[in-house]
Structure 1
Amino acid sequence: MPAVTPSETYATLSAMITPALFMTATGSLIISTSNRMSRIVDRIRQLNLEGDELGRGARAVDFVDDRLEHVAVQLDRMVVRSDLIRKTLTLLYLAMALYVGTSLSLAVNALLGGWLLVVPTTLAILGVGLMLAGCVQLIREANVALRNNRLEILFYQKLRYQRASGAAPATEVATPPPLRR
């Protein structure tokens, strides 16, 4: 094994710190994505409870059929959101693993005399690619979330209009177009 000089050791340690910046950014995305996942889980539980209460007649509200249909549509959209978040977390955790691998392979590369440089470089590139893919998934999930908000607003505007016009609760509800994935 070749002798390693102190300046080479410091250069190696400095190079190993660089992936830590990516790890920090990825960790922040993981935390915020996990929080989004928690909100989705809470909303699914709330919608399930609401649908159950409406289905049993446990709530004294008007337009029950419309509300049940709305809950069903919202639950379908929550499934899409939860799938996107699950994929995002998988990508971000894989990116984190690749950044850790980058850091470790830089140390091994230094110990072996520098002939493994392609390994940490490849791991870093793959990690950045996965992080980019995770960000794209987060954009998709945010768009679904905002479309859900719009659907909520439109539903309650519809209820307000039906009440104002004195319409009888509908038994058949027009189904909104399917969600684009």
Structure 2
Amino acid sequence: MLPMSLDQYQVLTSMLAPALLMAATGSLLISANARLARVVDRLRAVMAEWQDADEAQRAELEAEIRSQRTRSGFNLRACLMLYLALAAFVATSIALAIDAFTNFALGPLPTITALVGTGCLLMASIYLALEVRMAIRGLDAEISMQMRQRPSGPKPGARA
């Protein structure tokens, strides 16, 4: 039985905050998984280039392969943190309902699970920021490599 001062609408209202955090976490998971898929695709493309490259190109491509592997590691850690955050927010929502039905017998448990979820979101955000930074560095390196391979003479059809 619910305490007199707490009805089912108050319980449902208190469960909305974790639900909103679950939705936000889900959106971040979709983004992180899409980024991971792009990293995997890029890694496969670089590996194909590596097989046909000469020794000088292989050294540059091996550096990019190492970078892509690090990026995928950041993405995997971010996904893990996001899944843990999602689980913590689900646990928070359930704990809030159970706490209301047991006359607040769980004490600070709902708050602790919410803090764990928020901490996991913070860690995931840090990992995703590190991955984005590596992506930009990789893009800069790729542009530099392409510019070095480009012939420096006049373009065909250009007037002298």
> Taking every aligned residue pair, what percent have the same amino acid on both sides?
31
Aligned residue among 99, 114, 122 for 1:109:
99
Displacement of 1:92:
0.6
Q: 1:115 deviation in Å? A: 2.7
Aligned residue type for 1:50: E
Contact residue 92 and residue 134 of structure 1 kept, 8 A: yes
Please give the alpha-carbon distance, in whole angstroms, between the structure 2 residues aligned to 1:10 and 1:22: 19
Could you say what secondary structure the match of 2:29 adopts? Answer: helix
Q: Which residue of 1 aligns with 2:121?
A: 131
Contact kept in structure 1, 2:2 and 2:101, CA below 8 Å: no
**Structure 1 counterpart of 2:49, which letter?**
E
Letter in 1 for 2:10: A
Rounded Cα–Cα distance in structure 1 between residues aligned with 2:43 and 2:93 = 39
The count of residues paired between Structure 1 and Structure 2 equals 153
Equivalent residue in structure 2 for 1:122, among 103, 108, 112: 112
Distance 2:24 2:5 in 1: 30
Q: CA deviation at 1:7?
A: 5.2
Deviations 1:2-60 (A, max 9, x none): 45559521101111121010001100000000000000111111111111133xxxxxx
Work out which of the residue numbers 61, 77, 90 in structure 1 matches 2:80.
90
Q: How does 1:6-155 map to 2 (within 5 A)?
A: 8-54=7-53, 64-155=54-145
3-state secondary structure, aligned to 1:116? coil
How far does the alpha carbon of each residue in 1:122-147 deviate from its partner, in whole angstroms, 9 at most, with x for none? 10011111101110111111000000
- Aligned equivalents of 2:25, 2:107: Cα separation in 1: 23
The yes-or-no answer on 1:156 pairing with 2:155 is no
Q: Which amino acid aligns with 1:32?
A: S
Q: Distance in 1 between matches of 2:9 and 2:2?
A: 14
Gaps of 5+ in 2: 154-160
Cα distance between partner residues in 2 of 1:3 and 1:40? 51
Q: CA deviation at 1:164?
A: 3.0
| 1:133-178 deviations in Å (ceiling 9; x for gaps) | 1101111110000000010111122223xx438xxxxxxxxxxxxx
**What TM-score results when the alignment is normalised by the length of structure 2?**
0.89
